[in-house]
Amino acid sequence: MSDTIFEVIHHRLLEWPSLYPEGELDLVAELVQIQGQIVVSASIGSSHADQELPYHDHATGKTDQRRVGNFINALTGQGILRDGQLLNIFFPELLKFCLTPSDRAYHQNVQTLITFLRKIKEEKLAEIKSGKVGIDLFSIMLDEGGDVYSLIKDEQLADQTMFDDICFIYLAAVSTTQVTVNNLMKYVHMDEYKPVREKLQTEVDTFLAFKAWDAQGNEANH
């Protein structure tokens, strides 16, 4: 997990000069973006963190390209709103039908994600077969449990099961990475934990396979 976090942060930092040539950036937006990329990397692999998928927004009627993390976040919100509609609350048996334009937009986006996940699954199974197991949670699950989805005869049910599993993996990655990053930032920067700061900074440096510099060109590695 720590290796993934440092890899994602390092990759994003290297993009800053081209993304912000004027030297000004929205740090909060960047931290949100980095956190999203970390979660995707921990869930399905860092090679997919920057990949974009076409997301159909029913409210605007437009389809735009969104990074996987942003796509999943928007889709999750869309699903929550759909489940919370009075029609579906009073008649939950209708959830399996796409009755409204917003339902059809949601279904379209779900199918886009499922198609993407199918492709990733086949790639990871091929890697596992060749002896290369990724460190992301999806790879670990496929390595330890095998392709359980192929055992489900109903293709639609198999796809839905995989979709649900990825959602749980994504939520697990959100919780785990947030705790890891928040604890790291807390112990490294707060004076209250000064006795352990040097020890922790030394441990952090063991994960850095690169040199870091500040704006003046001075090496920033501790």
Least confident of 8-22, 48-62, 137-151: 8-22
The answer to whether residue 214 scores a pLDDT higher than 60 is: no
Mean pLDDT of 175-188: 67
pTM to 2 decimals?
0.69
pLDDT-derived band at 108, boundaries 50, 70, 90: very high
Q: What is the pLDDT of residue 145?
A: 80
The mean predicted confidence, pLDDT, of the chain is: 80
Phi, psi (degrees; rounded to nearest 5) at 54: -75, 120
pLDDT of amino acid 64: 94
201 compared with 121, residue with greater pLDDT: 121
pLDDT at 53: 93
C-alpha torsion sign, points 196, 200, 203, 205: negative
Report the range of poorest mean pLDDT among 11-20, 84-93, 127-136, 152-161: 11-20
In whole angstroms, give the CA distance from residue 126 to residue 119. 11
Task: Give me the DSSP letters along the chain.
Answer: -HHHHHHHHHHHHHHHHHH-TTS---HHHHHHHHHHHHHHHHHH-GGGTT-EEEEEETTTTEEEEEEHHHHHHHHHHHHHHHHTSHHHHH-GGGGGS--SHHHHHHHHHHHHHHHHHHHHHHHHHHHHHTT---SSHHHHHHHHH--GGGG-S-HHHHHHHHHHHHHHHHHHHHHHHHHHHHHHHHHHH-GGGHHHHHHHHHHHHTT--S--B-TTS-B---
pLDDT at 188: 62
Q: How many CB atoms lie within 10 A of CB 13?
A: 13
Note the Cα 25 to chain centre separation in Å: 22
Contact 10, 210 (CB under 8 A): yes
The whole-angstrom separation of Cα 20 and Cα 57 is: 28
Q: pLDDT for 35-67, tens place per residue?
A: 788 888 888 888 888 889 999 998 888 999 998
Q: Which residue has the higher pLDDT, 94 or 221?
A: 94
Task: Name the packing angle between helices 137-145 and 27-44 (round to 10°).
Answer: 10
CB 222 within 8 A of CB 205: yes
What does the pLDDT look like over 72-97, one tens digit per residue? 888 888 888 888 888 888 888 888 88
Going by C-alpha positions, the residue among 5, 81, 75, 76 that lies closest to residue 39 is 5
| pLDDT the model gives residue 21 | 81
pLDDT at position 35 is 79
